[in-house]
Amino acid sequence: MPGLGTAINVATIIAGTGVGLLVGGRIPERARTTVLQSVGLVVLVVGVSQALRSDNIVFPLVSVVIGALVGEAVGIEDRLESLGDRIRRRVERPPDTAPNEAPEENTFVEGFVAASLLFCVGPLAVLGSIADGLEGDIGLLAVKAALDGLVSIVFAATLGWGVAFSALPVLVYQGALTLLAGSADSVLSERMVLEGTATGGIMVLGISMRLLDLKQVRVGSLLPALVIAPVLVALFAR
């Protein structure tokens, strides 16, 4: 059944968040910080490995630059943060004391944005959704679901319950790709997917910098690059 892979993925994110919230309070703050940094290092390695798959780094470079300009003009990062804040205000209970509100706001939004970007950027999301839509093959999305579930545990233990709501962008993004799989498969060549993956790898590097608290890279504003990269390949690749 098309869409089953995405449904499993959404379920593992929510379940992983629940587990993370249960165990997070029992883990000392220093240990939670170290665990999050460990995930950041792994994400860094994943980003580098994906970026190095490019046959011509000019395609990812130009895609990221143009994508950043478009993303900032549209305000994608700000809109993501605003969405996270609106979700938080709609679902949370009124705080007992106002002074304790600010740190929870920050971790909720950061957890939502960081998890949403990490779970949606990458080849497994694209290729898995297309395979699910075309052949009903959920193998790739099953692997992604397992990975996302594990990461959700760590994220939720350190960044809180905002991670669970990253399941919403995953549902919309992968669900749309699954529905559009037929046309996407006929348009996307192997080279387009390759350079798109490399471009996604650069964005994953930006996520790792956020997790490692090195730099708050506005990765959300780079999202248009994932569309621009295949277009550039179609226009200029030989």
C-alpha 121/C-alpha 170 separation (Å) is 10
- Amino acid identity, position 196: G
Mean pLDDT over 45-69 rounds to 92
User: In the predicted model, is pLDDT for residue 187 greater than 80?
Assistant: no
Instruction: Give the distance, in angstroms, between the CA of residue 113 and the centroid of all CA atoms in the same chain.
Output: 8
C-alpha 178/C-alpha 133 separation (Å) is 4
pTM of the model: 0.76
Residue 216 CA: distances (Å) to CA of 123, 137, 189: 23, 37, 33
The pLDDT value given to residue 97: 46
- Tell me which residue range forms the domain holding 212: 4-236
For 107-156, write each residue's pLDDT tens digit: 888 889 889 988 987 667 877 887 788 778 888 898 899 889 988 998 89
Letter string b/e over residues 14-46, b meaning 16 or more CB atoms within 10 A of that residue's CB: bebbebbbeebeeeeeeebeebbeebbeebbeb
SS3 for 36?
helix
- Which of 42-46, 98-102, 122-126 ranks highest by mean pLDDT? 42-46
Our count of domains for the chain comes to: 1
